[in-house]
Amino acid sequence: MDASSTARPRRNTRVLTACDACRLSKTRCDSARPVCAKCVQRDMILSWPIFPKEKSVSTFPMAAYSEKPDRFQTALHSLDPQRLLELREIFMTKIWTKNPIVDPDQLDFYIARVLENGVDWSASSCLVLLIFALAAIWGNYPDDETREVSYNEPSFSPPVTYLTISVPEHRMKESLTFLSMARKRISTAYLDDTLLGVQCLCLFGIWYQYNIEPIPGWKMFRTASMLWQTYRLKHREGKTVRSAQEESLEQRLYWTCLKSEWYSIHHTPQILTQLADIQYLSDFPYSLPSFPTRQPSNDSAGWVFSNPSSTDLEAASSYYYLAEIFLRRLLNRARNAVRVLSPDIDPPTINTLAETLTQLEGQLQQWVDCLPHTLRFNMPLESAPGPKEGELMKLSRERYVEVRELLCRAYLYLCIHVPLDAGMAALYGVKASEALLLAVYRIQTEVPFFRHPGSWGACRVRFNHALCLIAGFRAKLTQRPSAEYVTIPPDWADCVRVVIERLKIWGQEGGGIKELSVLLEWLMHGNLELSN
């Protein structure tokens, strides 16, 4: 008998069903379902040992997985050409600048066809309807969209007045009119084998994000990613002659799908194990997307589309889009780097982590140095934001603060949870204190009640900032040795209370935001018990 056939097979201890996040980060996965242990801890400050293990509520309730029912029943009786052109202008000036996934010439052609022939059942009509739906629901930056409303109690007591952040009725009604028509054409978009289908599903995703529906939005972007991959497979051999415009659009849609995947992963750990095909999105087939050149307008129906400062808008949009891609990738590197954090981390690993964080800080500063004038902001912690700071500049500044705070947050974790020698504690205490200052800065300088597609994520970001402030205070209160050199901002408690009030207002919109405010109140109450 062959010895090889009787030899005891070698036991394979490697997990063959590791989740996608662990495969990407090359870390060991325990293969637990529905979420592995690494994914549960990833970027979740609530899992820090400084906080109680058992929480009062879940940060992502079951109701957040479902689509909201429409607030109004609507029907479109006729198309007003003037209003449609106004909506087109709103889209180009307020939405397209952050999401340049529809070429202006392409949009003008499709709108002209709708104005000439009416809305049909094509994917191009679905695209136009979605653009009108987004434009109709969109607000004006930097308007505070809170307003007082009265609620009549089922008794003879006076009406109760409270603040709401819900989309005003006239905007929501008009938007739902177009959205309901687009929904009826979603199958046409899904079956489309061009980039039109990808565009439609991305626009659906943006609408749901704007309406604080993170999971329905993710489902749309996930489908858009699948359609993009199908399109990519169809054309990967390069046998089909395509225009430069189409290739540019393919690149921008790739990055939009990828950014949306990252957004969902980092704010919704519960869906990590469902991303069965995210590996292809990490192959980076493009270094950076290109942008199309404006073609001469050739409106077959004779419609005139005004483009005030279109060149300036498109240039600013291109710069912002490229800048955000770079910073998103840097943010991912930072999140991957800090995955080694644990109370049992050893000194060599700490030193390696510190070196990596220093390199990332250098890359972040290079990003700032390369910003064009239209996006260059006043440096955080050095000066206040400019009085007339534009939306793209504000978004760039907030994204910068998010990355910088995350890099410093790792030192806060070390100072709170890891026994450090005196020299290391003093060195890292400076960075940990900077993390708390950045948290206060972000809370004090944000535009909290301007609604945009990232509003749900912004609520979770401010929640994390409040958690860091509470964690720092608890560490000082319980006299953690390594936290000796961490300085707690004197107004930390006021900032946490501000976050709680903001989350309560946003909490009426669902998406698990209300639960975040409940958790913060519970933790603040726990601080009082610790101090007694």
Cα–Cα dist 288/251, whole Å? 8
For 426, the enclosing helix (H) or strand (E) is helix 422-445
Omega before 81 within 30 of 0, i.e. cis:
no
Nearest CA among 144, 136, 231 for reference residue 193: 231
pLDDT score at 4: 47
Task: Please tell me what DSSP assigns to residue 483.
Answer: G
Conformation bin of residue 31: beta by default, left when phi > 0, alpha when psi is -120 to 50? left
CB 255 within 8 Å of CB 228: no
pLDDT score at 154: 66
Nearest CA among 516, 519, 98, 523 for reference residue 267: 516
SS3 184: coil
Following DSSP, what letter does each residue of 99-123 receive, concatenated? ---S-HHHHHHHHHHHHHH---SSH
Please state, in angstroms and as integers, the Cα–Cα distance from residue 474 to each residue in 50, 53, 59, 408, 435, following that order. Answer: 7, 15, 21, 18, 15
Long-range contacts of 456-460 (CB under 8 A, 24+ apart): 456/209, 456/212, 456/214, 456/267, 456/511, 456/513, 457/263, 457/267, 459/502, 459/503, 459/506, 459/511, 459/513, 459/516, 460/267, 460/516
Q: How many CB atoms lie within 10 A of CB 389?
A: 18
User: Residue 151 forms beta bridges with which residues?
Assistant: 160
For 496, the enclosing helix (H) or strand (E) is helix 492-507
Cα–Cα dist 252/240, whole Å? 19
Phi, psi of 436 (to 5 degrees): -70, -40
CB 334 within 8 Å of CB 360: yes
* Tens-digit pLDDT string for the chain (532 aa): 454 445 444 444 444 456 554 554 456 665 554 445 555 454 478 889 999 988 888 888 888 888 998 888 777 778 899 999 999 999 999 999 999 999 999 999 999 999 999 999 999 999 999 999 999 999 999 999 999 888 776 666 677 788 999 999 999 999 999 999 999 999 999 999 999 999 999 999 999 999 999 999 999 999 999 999 999 999 988 778 889 899 999 999 999 998 888 888 777 766 543 333 444 444 556 667 777 655 544 444 445 444 444 567 788 889 999 999 999 889 888 988 998 999 999 999 999 999 999 999 999 999 999 999 999 999 999 999 999 899 999 999 999 999 999 999 999 999 999 999 999 999 999 999 999 999 999 999 999 999 999 999 999 999 999 999 999 999 999 999 999 999 999 999 999 999 999 999 999 999 999 999 999 999 999 877 776 6
Task: Please tell me what DSSP assigns to residue 272.
Answer: G
Cα–Cα dist 164/284, whole Å? 42
Structure-token pair, residue 247: 């290739």
Helix 81-90 with 104-117: angle, nearest 10 deg: 160
- For residue 98, which amino acid is it? K
Cα–Cα dist 205/67, whole Å? 12
pLDDT score at 294: 56
Query: E strands of 81-202, at which residues?
Result: 147-151, 160-164
- For residue 62, which amino acid is it? M
CB 432 within 8 Å of CB 476: no
Size of the chain, expressed as the number of residues it contains: 532
